[in-house]
Every structure is written in structure tokens, then in C-alpha cells.
Amino acid sequence: MGKIPKSHPRYKSLITREKISKEFKNGIVHETGLIAHGRGEAFDYLIGEKTIPSSMRAAKVAAALFLLAKNPVISINGNVAALSAKECIELAKTIPAKIEVNLFHRTKARVEKIVAMLSKLGAIGIYGVKPDAVIPFIEHDRALCDKNGIYSADVVLVPLEDGDRCEALKKMGKTVITIDLNPLSRTAKTADVTIVDNITRAIPNIRKWVVNFKKNHVSEEELQNIVDSWDNKKNLKEVLSFISKRINSLF
Ligand code: ATP
Ligand code: MG
């Protein structure tokens, strides 16, 4: 990683790529995760590789939902672990929320590697190691989850998630928060709160709001007002409008 000079105009993006590539070699990231990352990068270019105002508002709503939740869970997959393991652990501790390793392309070996990585970074009580429940409406290993983790969660954050699984979680009656750079993905359209931003920026943003709410003793009523005034579809339209305006004003 030391090879990339900080002055390089695409420094952050290159460092992120190196992380994904390194964790692919380590068996943390699945090969399809490389493709998903590329798709994410393309959309990051479109929003200007920084948090746009509507995505900051989505992060605020996510923080409010987390603080109102009885049993919040953060789901971690290979790409999430590669890019934001430390930040997800910090967020989970701040809320507090549970962490579950939950993989689309599940293998015992990959789960164990991700759990080892998270443990090394200080995570305690990681769920998903021995899944003992299934998410209805989806098939095979993709449906496996932890009874005391995602299965019984009321609010679940599923960053960089597949559309089918997001839909199945919604059908279970859960409040679903996602982080997805593609505002057009099925996940983005299905979730209750879609943060269209890079996970590397979105997780610290959610945490900043959680800290801010706690510090200012924001009441449950106020948090509920923030949640109630949220319209995810409207926000996705705003993201698309931001992108089109931005593109039209570039040259
Ligand atoms: P869907 O199944 O929701 O229709 P998809 O099949 O196109 O979407 P998946 O591979 O299932 O995509 O999900 C990964 C999603 O994560 C993609 O929409 C991709 O744009 C997004 N993504 C990839 N890397 C990042 C990142 N670093 N930050 C935020 N989002 C990302
Ligand atoms: Mg998909």
C-alpha cells in the first residue's frame, strides 16, 4: 500500500481498491465482491466521491432508527469487512448493536476468516458463526442467519446487500437500512433507509449522528419525528436529480 503517493488524485480510490484486492487474496472477499466493488466505484464517480446532502440526511435517519431499536444488528459481508471492519465495530459499540457475519456466498472458511478479523479488531459476541435460523422467502445457504442476531432483529443494517435478501428481510417485517452507491439497485429501492454513499464514508457518518444524538440527549420523541418525516423514495429521486444536475454542469 505504501507504493501509492498521497498526492495521487485518485489516492483514496486506489487505497480502497488495494484493500479489496488484498482481502480477496486473504479469502475475505468473494470474487463477485470485486465486480460489486467496481459497480460501486462507477456510481461514486457520479456523485463526486463525497457525501451528498441527501445521503447525510439518510445517515441521520439511520442513526435515529438505531437508537430507537430494541434489537439492532449490523450485517457484515466480505466487502464490508475489507473496507469498514473497524468502523462497523466502533458503530456497533456506540449504539450499541450486535454484529452478524452474514454472507451471500457462504462458506464456513470465509465466515471464520471474517470472524477472526473482527475479533482481532476488538469485536465481541459476533453472531452468524453457527447459523440456526433461516430467512424465509429465499433459498439455500443465502437464507441462513442467527436466531439471536438478524433473525430476531427489529432494525438491521445490510450494507452492500443483494436485492433478494433485502426484500426477504423486509417481508419479515424488519426495518432495513442499507448503504448502496447505486440508487437504482433493487436493494436501494426496497430498503426503508438507503444511504447512497461509499461505505467508507457512510459508517462514520452514521456514528457521528449517534454520538451527536446521545451527547445532546435527543429525546425518543424527537428521534421518532426524524424517522417519521423520512421518505426513502423521495430521497432516491433527489439523489438521481443531484447526479443528473451534476453531470449536466460538468462541461
Ligand atoms: P441488487 O441485487 O440490489 O439489484 P446488484 O445485484 O447490482 O444489486 P449486488 O452485488 O447484489 O448488486 O450488491 C452490491 C451493491 O453494493 C451494488 O449496488 C454496488 O453498487 C454497491 N457497492 C459496492 N461497493 C460499494 C461501496 N464501497 N460502498 C457502497 N456501495 C457499494
Ligand atoms: Mg444482487
Is the pLDDT score of 108 beyond 90?
A: yes
Residue spans of the domains in the chain: they are: 53-245
Q: Average pLDDT for residues 8-26, to the nearest whole number?
A: 94
Is 20 near ligand 1, meaning CB less than 6 Å away? no
Q: How far is the CA of 65 from the centre of ligand 2 (A)?
A: 25
Looking at 101-215, list the stretches that DSSP marks H as alpha helix, in order from N- to C-terminal side: 108-120, 163-171, 186-190, 199-215
pLDDT of residue 39: 97
Task: Give me the phi and psi of 10, to 5 degrees please.
Answer: -110, 30
In angstroms, rounded to a whole number, what is the distance separating the alpha carbons of residues 92 and 198? 18
pTM for the full predicted model: 0.97
Is 160 near ligand 1, meaning CB less than 6 Å away? yes
pLDDT of residue 251: 86
Is 83 near ligand 1, meaning CB less than 6 Å away? yes
Q: How far is the CA of 186 from the centre of ligand 1 (A)?
A: 9
Q: Average pLDDT for residues 99-121, to the nearest whole number?
A: 97
Is the pLDDT score of 139 beyond 90?
A: no
User: Which of these, 183, 185, 184, 187, lies nearest to 170 by C-alpha position?
Assistant: 187
Q: Whose CA is nearest to atom 10 of ligand 1?
A: 36
Q: Whose CA is nearest to atom 16 of ligand 1?
A: 160
Is 190 near ligand 1, meaning CB less than 6 Å away? no
Is 177 near ligand 1, meaning CB less than 6 Å away? no
Q: Which of 17, 43, 182 to mutate to test the pocket of ligand 1 (most atoms within 8 A of CB)?
A: 182
pLDDT digit string, tens, across residues 186-229: 999 999 999 999 999 999 999 999 999 999 999 999 999 999 99
Ligand nearest the Cα of residue 189 is 1
Q: How far is the CA of 165 from the centre of ligand 2 (A)?
A: 9
pLDDT of residue 2: 60
Domain 53-245 of CATH type 3.30.230.10: no
3-state secondary structure of 46: helix
Residue type, 165: R
pLDDT of residue 250: 87
Is the N-terminal amide bond of 183 cis, ω within 30° of 0? no
Average pLDDT, the chain: 96
Residue 45: other Cβ atoms inside 10 A = 10
User: Which of these, 189, 185, 180, 182, lies nearest to 160 by C-alpha position?
Assistant: 180
Q: Whose CA is nearest to atom 25 of ligand 1?
A: 40
Q: Average pLDDT for residues 131-140, to the nearest whole number?
A: 93
Q: Which of 15, 43, 160 to mutate to test the pocket of ligand 1 (most atoms within 8 A of CB)?
A: 160
